[in-house]
Amino acid sequence: MTRYEVQPITYLPRQIQALEKEAVGEGFRFLTRLINEWHSGANRFDAPGECLMAAYLNQQLIGIGGLSVDPYADNNVARLRRVYVAPSSRGQHVGQALVKALVERAAPRFQVVRLFTDTAEGSAFYERCGFKRTDDAQATHIMRLGGF
């Protein structure tokens, strides 16, 4: 099995451009939003309890995801955002490791983690990670913390 590592980052790696290109090729624009919000300062995942994490394989960026205070909820609720894994690295548990690391980072400060996905594949993935579907207008999935 190939070894990859997931780690918190405080900057956008240069390789984010290649990952964004792959995401756009699949019809996903959220990495473009991540880059734009980062450069504008609108969201750098640097408020208390927030973080941005990256997955690397042989120093190559293969995934990214962030945890922020949920702007649609009370401040004890976190939101999983901008989670993306390169197609060539899917099926190797990279996404699950990234989500698990983000949820572990959320646990000391937040009681709930929510997210929004608009694809069946995303929905199934997050449910495999332990999230439950919710019919909230601002989130499709939720996890109450207390164990991952």
Report whether pLDDT(63) > 90.
yes
Q: Whole domain around residue 85: which residue ranges?
A: 5-111
* Predicted pLDDT at 148: 43
Share of the chain above pLDDT 90, in %: 94
Side-chain half-sphere CA neighbours of 106 within 13 A: 33
Residue 19 within any structural domain of the chain: yes
Dump the DSSP string for 57-78: ETTEEEEEEEEEE-TTS-TTEE
Residue 140 within any structural domain of the chain: no
* Confidence (pTM): 0.93
Residue 126 within any structural domain of the chain: no
Residue 136 within any structural domain of the chain: no
Residue 74 within any structural domain of the chain: yes
Q: Are 58 and 46 in contact (CB under 8 A)?
A: no
Query: Mean pLDDT over residues 60-81, rounded?
Result: 94
pLDDT per residue over 3-59, tens digit each?
899 999 999 999 999 999 999 999 999 999 999 999 999 999 999 999 999 999 999
* Predicted pLDDT at 74: 79
Which one, of 37, 39, 36, 69, lies nearest residue 51 by Cα? 69
**CATH label of the domain that carries residue 54:** 3.40.630.30
Q: Which residue type sits at 85? A: V
Residue 100 within any structural domain of the chain: yes
Query: Mean pLDDT over residues 63-87, rounded?
Result: 94
* Predicted pLDDT at 2: 62
Residue 131 within any structural domain of the chain: no
Number of domains the chain is built from? 1
Residue 120 within any structural domain of the chain: no
Report whether pLDDT(132) > 50.
yes
Backbone angles phi, psi at 25, to 5 degrees: -60, -25
